[in-house]
A and B are shown apart, each in its own frame.
Chain A
Amino acid sequence: MGEERGWTKVLSVPQQALGRYDERGIFGTGPLVGVPNYGEYVTVFYNKDIFAANNLQVPTSLAEFEAVMDAFVKKGITPIAEAANDYPAVHLWYELALSKSDHAWVENFQGLKAPLDTQPFLFASQKLQEWVDKGYVSKDATGLTASDMVAQFEAGKSPIVVTGTWYAGEFGAKIANFKLGNFLFPGNSIHPASTGNIWVVPKSAKSKDLAYDFIDITLGKDSQVSLGNAGGVALTVDASEISDPVGSELTRGANAITVANGLGYYPDWPVAGYYEVIRQKVQALVGGTITPEAAVDELTQTYNDAQAEAR
């Protein structure tokens, strides 16, 4: 049906990956069983006013990013609003891990293929702890949740927040006292990203054609443009068609990620229950109660256990 309706043409190959499943139930290849209509990824939102007041430019490499944060720390500002008692710190950690990985690593990691190359995890764990020591991220984050983090960014207490595009709508609606901007995590070609939930037409559906028409509508230009204008990430239209600056920037970012084949997905996908383990370890890394080596050991242990059981 995907070809008949032209969905496989409108959506690029990486955009179809999460709609395809092989006979083992692993995504990426196999027949198209579902169709996404929006994207999502972890990005860097920033407070343009505070950046301008401190004469800082948008960084384009990890080193530049660190230099920007050093400048904020010198002024007594904690640059990144973070929450380590929740998922956001996991995303920052994975973003750092992906800075040291390539597409093959992502495929092996997500495909539960042995042996796990732990270098990216070790780098991320060391870097995250270094960032806490340097004051880029507050230790208090270990007691904060995503909504606390968002509140701190919205209140202008921290100029940067590294989080998902799903917050763009809320930021657009709530932030009135400063100009919001966003840029892709500097230096990375791969990001925590996926195409969002997929539309699936059940086998026993009574009016399949209506459902197919509906999917056509969600992928159509009008729907995609209004999705982008509401702060969402459009898949099938060009960023220039979206008038909302943040939505346009986000859609441009999504295009850049798909063109570079840079969908890193999320770090908890390969192993059931992995999210909980990663969250706990990242929280401990931020709190300084575990060494990067010990954290990586425990993460590897869980990964290897899952792999042994899957065989």
Chain B
Amino acid sequence: MSAKTSSKGAVSSSGYVIYLMPGMIGFALIVLLPFLMNIAISFTQWRGVGAPRFVGFANYERLLQDGLFWVAFDHSFAFIIAMAVVPTALGLFLAALLFDYIAERFGERASSFFRAGFYLPQILPIAVAGVLWGWILSPIGVLNAALKSVGLDFLAQNWLGDPKTALFSVMFVMVWLQLGYSLVVFMSGLSRVDPSLYEAAELDGASWLQRFRHITIAMLKPEIFVVGLTTTIAALKVFAPVYVLTQGGPNNATTVPSYFAYYHFFTTSRVGYGAAITTVQTLITVVLAYFFLRLQTGQINEAN
């Protein structure tokens, strides 16, 4: 009997394989193969043309001593704050606000309008958004002109050109860019929450903040973890906004591992070294993602 079931199971699961093939082939060609090639290249010295020369761990040794890589890596934490922590927290709050305050008071249309507005940066091509923010944040740009016109001259800054403000300016743009993603996920999550929970809590005299804490956050835990994980990974490999806004400058104040790898891969043509940077970066991302997933399973088990 059991043998029969298992053989039946085998037949049905092998039946699925054919449907998984396209995805697996795509994964192998676009992710797995380049990933393995990248690891192989990281053990060589290669200019991108000619034959790669095997150099063992030389690139990794150099990486450990390269101060700039660690500067770039430090900036990754700033980007985790700007792309994962702040957008998740703010997105949660705004989603709750739109869902049970704006929608209740001003109707669904108003809340949809704001949701679309917050999501717009996600649709804009990053190059366009970068150029626009470049104009806004330029020393002779819109932001400084606005500040000066209302008499706040002392607040006007050389936002992207001064190392003291450049990282914060880029972080601000990242919050603007990422907020829509978490907001939309949280709003769809909220529509799944049973309204009777809120009604019951309200009858028991729970304040908005108490309901937000004990119902909204508790019920949205799976979404919070998904958003937290995906945005953290996005922060660890951020490239395009930095490339468009500051190119890692001024004086490396905003450089990140991906930009650093790009720089060596394409401009100094130290392809092997660039590959080593990327491999270490992948390793760090995988380790962090692993802990994040462990934490998530722990929390969900606890909740159950």
Chain A interface residues (CB < 8 Å from chain B): 84-85, 139-145, 148, 152, 271-273, 275-276, 279-281, 283-284, 287, 289-290
A65 CA to B134 CA, complexed, in Å: 33
Are A284 and B267 within 8 A (Cβ)? Answer: no
B60 close to chain A: CB less than 8 A: no
Residue B161 interfacial (CB < 8 Å): yes
Whether, in the assembled complex, B73 has its beta carbon less than 8 Å from a beta carbon of chain A, the answer is no
Judge whether A148 and B250 touch: CB under 8 Å: no
Interchain nearest-CB distance for A297 vs B (Å):
13
Q: Are A276 and B250 in contact (CB under 8 A)?
A: no
Which partner residue on chain B sits nearest A302 by CB separation? B268
7 closest residue pairs by CB, A with B: A143-B161, A273-B268, A142-B161, A284-B251, A140-B139, A273-B267, A143-B158
**Residues in A neighbouring B159, C-beta threshold 8 A:** 143
In the bound complex, what is the Cα–Cα distance between A145 and B140 (angstroms)? 11
B249 at the interface (CB under 8 A from A): yes
A290's contact among B134, B138, B251, B264, by CB below 8 Å, is which? B251
Distance in angstroms between the alpha carbons of A152 and B246 in the assembled complex: 21
Given A144-B138, A148-B138, A272-B267, residue A139 in contact with residue B158 (CB < 8 A): yes
B269: which of A142, A144, A152, A273 is its contact (CB, 8 Å)? A273
Chief secondary structure at chain B's binding surface: loop
Q: Is B252 at the interface (CB under 8 A from chain A)?
A: yes
B100 sits at the interface (CB 8 A): no
Q: Are B269 and A289 in touch, CB under 8 angstroms?
A: no
Provide the residues of chain B in CB contact with A143, threshold 8 Å.
Answer: 137-139, 158-162
Shortest Cβ gap from A92 to chain B (Å): 16
- Say if the beta carbon of B263 comes within 8 Å of chain A: yes
Give Cα distance in the complex from A285 to B250, angstroms: 10
Inter-chain contacts of B267 with A (CB < 8 A): 272-273, 275-276
Interface residues of B in 202-253 (CB under 8 A from A): 246-252
Indicate which residue in A141, A272, A273, A289 contacts B251 across the interface (CB closer than 8 Å): A289
Given A139-B158, A287-B162, do A279 and B249 touch, yes or no (CB 8 Å)?
A: yes
B161 touches A280 (CB 8 A): no
CB of B163 closer than 8 Å to a CB of A: yes
Bound-state Cα–Cα, A140 to B156, Å: 11
CB pair A85–B250 under 8 Å, yes or no, is yes
* Bound CA–CA A176/B249 (angstroms): 35
Instruction: Verify B139–A144 contact, CB threshold 8 A.
Output: yes
Distance, CA A142 to CA B251, complexed state (A): 10
Say whether B251 contacts A281, CB under 8 Å. yes
Chain A proximity mask over B119-158: 1 for CB below 8 Å, otherwise 0: 0000000000000001001111000000000000000001
Query: CB distance A287 to B161 under 8 Å?
Result: yes
Pick the contact of A141 from B161, B249, B264, B268 — CB < 8 Å? B161
List the A residue with the shortest CB-CB distance to B266.
A273
B interface residue numbers (CB < 8 A to A): 134, 137-140, 158-163, 246-252, 263-264, 267-269
Min Cβ gap A298→B in Å is 9
Closest to B160 in A: A143
Nearest-neighbor residue (CB-CB) of B139 within chain A: A140
Return chain B residues, CB-CB under 8 Å to A148.
138, 140
The answer for the CA separation of A139 and B139 in the assembled complex, in Å, is 10
A272 contact set on B, CB distance < 8 A? 267-269
User: Would you mind naming 13 contact pairs between A and B with Cβ atoms under 8 Å apart?
Assistant: A85-B250, A143-B137, A143-B138, A143-B162, A144-B161, A145-B134, A148-B138, A276-B247, A280-B249, A280-B250, A280-B251, A287-B161, A290-B251
Q: How far is the CB of A300 from chain B (nearest CB, A)?
A: 16
Instruction: Known contacts A139-B158, A142-B158, A148-B138; decide if A287 and B268 are in contact (CB<8 Å).
Output: no
Q: Which residue of B lies closest to A276 (CB)?
A: B267
Residue numbers in B under 8 Å from A287 (CB-CB): 158, 161-163, 250-251
Q: How near does chain B come to A143, taking the closest CB pair, in angstroms?
A: 3
- Beta-carbon contact of A276 and B263 below 8 Å: yes
CB pair A289–B250 under 8 Å, yes or no, is yes
- A contact residues around B160 at 8 Å (CB): 85, 143
Could you tell me the distance in whole angstroms from the C-beta of B190 to the nearest C-beta in chain A? 41
Known interface pairs A142-B250, A273-B264, A287-B251; 7 further A-B residue pairs with C-beta atoms within 8 A, sorted by A's residue number? A85-B160, A140-B140, A140-B161, A152-B140, A273-B263, A284-B251, A290-B251
Task: Give the chain A neighbours of B161 by CB distance below 8 A.
Answer: 84-85, 139-144, 283, 287
Bound-complex Cα distance A271 to B269 (A): 10
Q: Is the CB of A144 within 8 A of B140?
A: yes
Question: With A and B bound together, what is the CA distance between A273 and B273 in angstroms?
Answer: 13
Q: Which residues of B contact A290 (CB under 8 A)?
A: 251
Nearest-CB distance from A225 to chain B (Å)? 38
Q: Cβ of B252: which chain A residues have Cβ within 8 Å of it?
A: 280
Tell me which residues across on chain A come within 8 A of B140, comparing CB atoms.
140, 144, 148, 152
Instruction: Please measure, in the bound complex, the distance between the C-alpha atom of A140 and the C-alpha atom of B163, giving whole angstroms.
Output: 12
A70→B268 CA distance, assembly (Å) = 40
Give the complex CA separation of A266 and B294 in angstroms: 53
A283 touches B251 (CB 8 A): yes
- For B263, list chain A residues within 8 Å (CB): 273, 276
Taking the closest CB of chain B, its distance from the CB of A87, in whole angstroms, is 12
Name the distance in Å between A286's Cβ and chain B's nearest Cβ: 9
Q: Which of A142, A279, A289 has the most CB of B within 10 A?
A: A142
Q: CA of A144 to CA of B138 in the docked complex: distance in angstroms?
A: 7
Q: What A residues does B246 contact at CB under 8 A? A: 85
Q: Give the CA-CA distance A291 to B285 in the complex, in Å.
A: 36
Which residues of chain B are within 8 angstroms of A289 by Cβ–Cβ distance? Answer: 163, 250-251
* CB-defined contacts of B137 to chain A, threshold 8 Å: 143
Q: Bound state CA distance, A178 and B68, in angstroms?
A: 46
